[in-house]
Structure 1
Amino acid sequence: MTNDLRRICGLLLLGGLACGQPGGSDTLSASTTAEMTTTTGGSTAAPTTTGDATTEPTTGEPTTGEPDPCAESPQALADCVDPQAYADDLQFIADIRTPGTPHWQAVQDLCADRLAELGYEVVLMDYGTGVNVVGRRLGTTNPEQIVVVAAHYDHITDCRGADDNASGVAATLEIARLLAKVEFERTVHVACWDEEEDGLIGAEAYVAAATAAGDDIVINFNFDMIGFTSDAPNSQTVPAGFELVFSETYAQLEANMFRGDFIALVTSASAHDHAVALAAASDRISLPQAIIELPGGQENSELFADLRRSDHAAFWAAGFPAVFLTDTGEFRNLDYHCMAGPDEVADLDLEFAAGVTRATTEASALALGM
């Protein structure tokens, strides 16, 4: 379907964004219902047509009548991650996608169409300068409680951005596929943010709308660069003064000879339990990880600016719990923003990225009440 049919207005209400998704209602916002168009993978969506055949939208999963073994537990769900599907999405996404360019539009369409096919209610949140793609599936018993899994899909000029952040968007879409297999107690929002590179603008628009609506966001799992590793000693660096605040993590890195072979779980104190669950899920599949937990109440301090440079910071600023999953960007990958060379798929560790996707699938399912 075309982008125009899915687009919603970036309506301003009392000086704030009124586009949003209140957690427990069937509409996104009482003040904006008349101004927006949604597309859904459920029974109320328009049928799709292929050739001479007309079919209803599908979740993309076979219906055999047999229980899906992937839906037996959070661990089983995580173990159903498809590395090839992840790699295929990554390969497609990794191209020039500066906002407004054809491939930016193609990736936006990929997010919207995939989520709709999987049965999510999909909203294109046009907040004026960019477009967020948000898919929602309501929880069964606690729909007002929301778990957000997200990554930004925009990038800078003249850089393919395979690690930053095609790697995160591909993980988000694969997790969306798996979470669509299960009915959860809580509501899940799966999002592709726009304009992260211009200052977290898309995520801030979503958070402003969520705050205005009084949404109860339980946790935000945010991906930004999850595909680059190096087992060379001293390939991992840290921000200045890191060892003074995060001494245990620093000792862990030092004992590993500062190899860049782990996923960093940068967490607010309020998201502690979710970070621990994510670390346990990582341990289960032997995925190296390091928890970097900011002191309580210090999430928005400029002292930790290097740990706030992605969309999770918009959630922290509003008091919502969030965990930032990252390979640490330029503290490991010298091709960050194509500074030392092109940021290409060929330079990424796809097995590692699929492992991060598996661990986050498990942690997300647990957070959703599975």
Structure 2
Amino acid sequence: MTYDLRRNSWLLLVCGLGCGQPGGSATVTEPTTGGETSTTTTTTGGGTTAVPTGSTTTAEPTTGEPDPCAASPQALADCIDPAAYAEDLQFIADVRTPGTPHWQAVQDLCADRLSELGYEVVLMDYGSGVNVVGRRVGKTSPEQIVLVAAHYDHISDCRGADDNASGVAATLEIARLLAKAEFDRTVQVAYWDEEEDGLIGSEAYVAAATAAGDDIVVDFNFDMIAFTSAAENSQTVPVGFELVFSEAYAELEANQFRGDFIAIVNSSKAHEHALAYAAAADRIGLRRALIELPAGQETSELFADLRRSDHAPFWDAGYPAVFLTDTSEFRYANYHCMAGPDEVANLDLEFAAAVTRATVEASAVALGM
């Protein structure tokens, strides 16, 4: 998650200014199933989308028996593998400043895993960084896209376990489960680069998607989903929060401001998708706070701290987006390693698995299952 030292309160501008849209062309490398690659070029101002066209293959050979996980959105969500999530998280959580060896290793992990699962994979090289985007085409409404995404870069000298290895690991597990079913709509799974430098990777993707006229139904964006605290008053809120989000504030107050929930932050256009996520969370007993911005205020500087991740470019372009977060430094003192290391040992993996599980269900509902 991005940070700006100019922030004096939660309702002052943090990011958005100076997070300009990159220009020029973007090189897109498409790994093939045989391990070879082909390269095409797409421009942010042209009519070419950031993802490839064509059909996809299924991830696993069929046996003729239906996969019980694919029976319903709830069944799919309940097939989550917490051990697989933990294994991926442990690998990802290391210094991965763009251009470093581990940044490359995580990029390779995301691309290879998506390819193994049967997704079409694009490496979107937009000049200063590389997004990894996978796609499985929908059956009846392939032009409609449901996106699940997280940024994979981080700052130097910090392992970034919560920020944002926790989100990348969740997205990998969601990709595995969504590959088990066929959907009416197209699913895209994406890993953004250079979020910490000003949302540059997601800006590049949105620019290309907008130019191509892509129909993005919703973007579920992860950024920090694994730290909790059961201690009273461990959750802080900014000055003015209670004036705009009185219902959410009352719920926090009733819970003695414990930092034990996932924040669901959404634009009004994503209202139904946020409600679907809240219902999925309620079904499995995951505490959550539903925070919906007033209609038309998604780009307002008053809500700058709610725009500090890769959902913001989607809001700016008018696309529905849901931001899922443990609220960063409003709960976690080791955000960006400020008060200590951001490492896996600090995190609540059961909570992170529950967040992942709820997102599988909400994503499957959005995909038309």
Q: TM-score, normalised by structure 1?
A: 0.88
Q: How does 1:290-369 map to 2 (within 5 A)?
A: 290-369=289-368
Q: Distance in 1 between matches of 2:255 and 2:37?
A: 48
Amino acid at match of 2:246: S
Q: Which amino acid aligns with 1:12?
A: T
CA contact (8 A) 1:196 1:202 kept: yes
Separation of aligned partners in 1, 2:179 and 2:163: 26
User: Is 1:179 paired with 2:210?
Assistant: no
CA shift for structure 1 position 19: 5.3
Q: Is the 8 A contact 1:10 1:126 kept in 2?
A: no
For the structure 1 residues 105 and 276, does the alpha-carbon distance in structure 2 shift closer, same or farther, using more than 3 Å as the test? same
Query: Using the alignment, how far apart are the partners of 2:322 and 2:39 within structure 1?
Result: 29
Q: Which residues of structure 1 form unaligned runs of 5+? A: 27-39, 43-57
Deviation digits for residues 92-121 of structure 1 (CA, Å, limit 9, x no counterpart): 000000000000000000000000000000
**Structure 2 length normalisation: TM-score?**
0.88
Check 1:104–1:251 CA distance in 2 against 1; reply closer, same or farther (3 A cut).
same
Question: Shift of residue 20 of structure 1?
Answer: 1.5
Residue 242 of structure 2 corresponds to which residue in structure 1? Answer: 243
Give the counterpart letter for 2:50 in structure 1: G
Shift of 1:16: 5.8
Aligned-partner residue type, residue 191 of structure 1 = A
In the TM superposition, residue 6 of structure 1 has moved relative to its aligned partner by 4.4
- The residue correspondences of 1:265-276 to structure 2 (distance < 5 A) are 265-276=264-275
Aligned to 1:111, the other structure's residue is in SS state helix
The alpha carbon displacement at 1:67 in A equals 1.3
- Structure 1 outlier segments of 4+, above 4 Å: 4-11, 15-19
Runs of 5+ unmatched residues, structure 2: 1-30
Within 5 Å, give how 1:165-244 maps onto structure 2.
165-244=164-243
Tell me, what secondary structure is at the counterpart of 1:132?
strand
Aligned 8 A contact 1:122 1:136 in 2? yes
Give me the whole-angstrom Cα distance separating, in 2, the residues matched to 1:252 and 1:5: 53
The answer on whether the counterparts of 1:139 and 1:185 sit within 8 Å (CA) in structure 2 is: yes
Separation (CA, whole Å) in 1 of partners of 2:73 and 2:255: 30
Task: Give a deviation string over 1:196-235, Cα, whole Å, max 9, x none.
Answer: 0000000011100000000010000000000000000000
Label 1:10 to 1:163 Cα distance change in 2 as closer, same or farther (>3 A): farther
Aligned mates of 1:314, 1:278 — CA distance in 2: 21
2:206 partner amino acid:
V
Task: Report how far residue 5 of structure 1 moved.
Answer: 4.9
For 2:22, the equivalent position in structure 1 comes to none
1:21 alignment partner in structure 2: 51
- Equivalent residue number for residue 102 of structure 1: 101
Tell me how far 1:12 sits from its aligned partner. Answer: 3.3
Q: Matched residues in 1 for 2:43 and 2:164: separation? A: 29
Whole-angstrom distance in 2 between the partners of 1:160 and 1:65: 44
Measured in 2, the distance between the counterparts of 1:287 and 1:77 equals: 17
Q: 1:191 to 1:283 in 2, by over 3 A?
A: same
Residue in structure 2 matched with residue 72 of structure 1 by the alignment: 71
Q: Which amino acid aligns with 1:21?
A: V
State the Cα distance separating 1:285 from its structure 2 match. Answer: 0.3
Amino acid at match of 1:95: D
Report the counterpart of residue 12 of structure 1 in structure 2.
43
Q: Does 1:258 align with 2:257?
A: yes
How far, CA to CA, are the matches of 1:251 and 1:318 in structure 2?
32
The separation in 1 between residues aligned to 2:62 and 2:87, in whole angstroms, is 24
Identity value in percent: 78
Change (3 A) 1:251 1:243: same
- Checking the alignment, whether the CA contact within 8 Å between 2:49 and 2:211 is kept in structure 1 is no
- Where in structure 2 are the equivalents of 1:41-80 lying within 5 Å? 42=57, 59=59, 61=60, 63-80=62-79
Figure out how many residues of one structure are paired with residues of the other and give that number. 337
Match of 2:12 in 1: none
Q: Distance in 2 between matches of 1:358 and 1:169?
A: 14
**Partners of 2:174 and 2:368 in 1: how far apart?**
16
